[in-house]
Every structure is written in structure tokens, then in C-alpha cells.
Structure 1
Amino acid sequence: MHASVGDRIVTASGVVGGSVRAGVVVECPHGDGSPPYRVRWSDTGEETLVFPGPDSLVQPEGDTGGAAGEDAPRTARSTTWHVRLTLVEAAGSTTAEAVLVAGPPEHADVGPLRSVGHARRAPQDEEIPVIGDEVAAGRALRRLADAMLGQAEDDITAVTGEQGHVHA
């Protein structure tokens, strides 16, 4: 990996749920453009010394990352979505409700997506509540994923005027 002053660097988080960070290379101590680089992060303005790994991408200054003829620059963005999972267990039956409670501002008019999953213990099975929780939650999350893909298909249709289809 090589970079020059002015290049953009985008680094994925090393932890689940972490943010993607983007910044600008402000110093390259090595003349050949090899790491490390001093980077000014766009989210905080902080400058740090970066030794990029396989989770990083360097985008040369002026490179929009698009195909020929595209003049809109591509920028990294980070959005956090939250899913609230509520579980209720009673009499050998568990119900889970999964709700997408936050999303990007451009989807504020869509409203929350919601799904439900159920699990029921067979009468002869030992009562182990965590197993019912796992089954009900898994079913609710799978249905939520299907609802999200359906919403994406509807959005594609609305934007293109042609029936959208997302391969799961």
C-alpha cells in the first residue's frame, strides 16, 4: 500500500458495530509512500499515525472511484442502525419482537420495520429458557432481514421505475 499527501484513507472498524473511519493523509514520512501515514480523521479532526492493514483502502487524491464519465466524488459514510429485540417467555412458549429503531436520515419517512418470531417447547423437553430465546430471536431476526430486503426492493422500484429484486 502506498499513499501521498492528500489521498483519502478509509478504514473499517476492527470490532463488531464499530464505525468506518475516513480521513486525509496529511504526512508521508517515507519518500516512497509506504506506511505509516499521518491522517486527519474527518469525523473528529484528530491527527494520528496510521499503519494501515487489510481493512484499509487508500483512494488517491482526485480519484472519484467511479467509472469514466462519473463526476460525483465517492465518499465514505458511516451509519449506525439499531435493532431492539424484546423477548417474552410464558408457559413453555417464547415470543421475540425485533424492531429496527434507527436508520439513516434519508429513510426517516419509511417508519420502523418490525417482525415477530415464536418458539414453543415440546411437553417432553426440559425447560431451558435460553434455547427458546435463541429460536424465537433467530426467527424474528430472519423475518426482519426479509422485511429489510423487501423494503430495499420497493426503494429500487421507486427510484428506477422497474421492479426491483434483491438476491438474498
Structure 2
Amino acid sequence: MKAATGDRIVTASGVVGGPVRDGVIVETRGPDGTPPYRVRWSDTGEETLVFPGPDSFVDHSGAVHDEGAKRAGEGAGGESRRTLTWQVQVTLVESSGSTTAEATVVGPTSGSLRAVGHARKAPQDEEIPAIGDELAAARALRRLADRLLEVAEYEIAASTGHAAHVHS
């Protein structure tokens, strides 16, 4: 793995359901861009020394490589960039051939939004819990996406003074 100052690094959680973290590489300490890296994490602003493993990748798109613009958060052309992490959690409850999923997203701009989806097995169908999980989760996530679009429309209308419709 090789990186440069200004590249973005994304690291999956070491535990199931844990958060995916991303940050900006502010210093490379290995020869020729190899690890370890000093990373400023987007969720906390904290800087730590990172020895990335197979659960990490470096995003070079829009990375800053020229010496005059190595500031984290600044793109190659000097334009401002920002990186945000939104957490989505889906909780499933199964009972007697019925599955209910609750999807919640927590983002810095939208606060917390929640949506629910349901799936019910037909009486003649075989009991396959994974299918109910997938259907209920998909329905909850679709409703959550619709809620996010509604919030965006409301905020556009509030800022422009005109009704807004966002195409999905």
C-alpha cells in the first residue's frame, strides 16, 4: 500500500456492525509512501498513527500531491473539500413469520432520521429468515432514502423560498 499526504484512507471496523472510519493522511512515515501514516480522522478530528491492514484502502482521487497545497481538506485545484461520515444502523426483529426492520441514519446535517419496513411470510411458504430480513431491511432503507429526499426538498425550499422537488 502506498499513499501521499492528502490522500483519504478508509478502514472497515474489526467487529461486525462497527463503524467504517475515514480520514485524511497528513503524514507518511514509511519510505516512498508506505505505512505507517499519521491520519486525521473525519469523525473525531483526532490524529493517530495508522499501520493499515487488509481492511483498509487508500483513495487517491482528488488527492493533494503538490507541496504548496498539502492542507487536509483541500483538493488538487485548491478547491475546498469535506469528508463526512454518516452512520446507518438497521435493527431486525423476527417473530412468527414476520420481520420488522428499523433503519436509522445519523448525519451531521440531517440529525437522526428513522424508517421502518416490514416483511411477512405467506402461510404456504417455507420459513427462510434471511429472505424476511432482506425484504424488511430493503423496505426500511427505501423509506429512509425517501425521508432524506423529503428533508433535502424542505431545506431547499426553506433556503430559496420556492417549492422544491428532488428527482431520485
TM-score, structure 1 normalization: 0.62
Runs of 4+ in 1 over 6 A off after TM superposition: none
1:167 aligns to 2:167 (yes or no): yes
Q: C-alpha displacement at 1:14, in angstroms? A: 5.9
Could you list the per-position Cα deviations for residues 102-126 of structure 1 after superposition, in whole angstroms to 9, with x for gaps in the alignment?
332x434xxx423222223223222
Range that drifts further, 143-152 or 80-89: 80-89
What are the within-5 Å matches in structure 2 for residues 91-102 of structure 1?
92=97, 94-100=98-104, 102=106
Please say if residues 9 and 25 of structure 1, whose CA atoms lie closer than 8 Å, have aligned partners that are also in contact. Answer: no
Paired residue secondary structure (1:79): coil
Q: 1:129 maps to what in 2?
A: 129
Matched residues in 2 for 1:13 and 1:81: separation?
14
1:45 aligns to 2:52 (yes or no): no
Which runs of 5 or more structure 1 residues have no equivalent in the other structure?
none
Amino acid at match of 1:140: A
Q: C-alpha displacement at 1:35, in angstroms? A: 3.6
Identity, in percent, stands at 36
What is the aligned length? Answer: 150
Please say if residues 69 and 76 of structure 2, whose CA atoms lie closer than 8 Å, have aligned partners that are also in contact. Answer: no
Matched residues in 2 for 1:160 and 1:123: separation?
51
Please say if residues 12 and 56 of structure 1, whose CA atoms lie closer than 8 Å, have aligned partners that are also in contact. Answer: no
1:55 aligns to 2:41 (yes or no): no
Q: C-alpha displacement at 1:157, in angstroms? A: 2.6
Could you list the per-position Cα deviations for residues 82-138 of structure 1 after superposition, in whole angstroms to 9, with x for gaps in the alignment?
324232423x3x24142415332x434xxx423222223223222333322322222
Q: 2:75 maps to what in 1?
A: 65
Which runs of 5 or more structure 2 residues have no equivalent in the other structure?
none
What are the within-5 Å matches in structure 2 for residues 125-164 of structure 1?
125-164=125-164
Matched residues in 1 for 2:117 and 2:160: separation?
33
Amino acid at match of 1:120: R
- Which structure has the larger Rg? 1
Q: C-alpha displacement at 1:22, in angstroms? A: 0.5
Please say if residues 87 and 137 of structure 1, whose CA atoms lie closer than 8 Å, have aligned partners that are also in contact. Answer: no
TM-score, structure 2 normalization: 0.62
Q: 1:86 maps to what in 2?
A: 92
Q: C-alpha displacement at 1:17, in angstroms? A: 4.6
Please say if residues 28 and 34 of structure 2, whose CA atoms lie closer than 8 Å, have aligned partners that are also in contact. Answer: no
Matched residues in 2 for 1:128 and 1:27: separation?
50
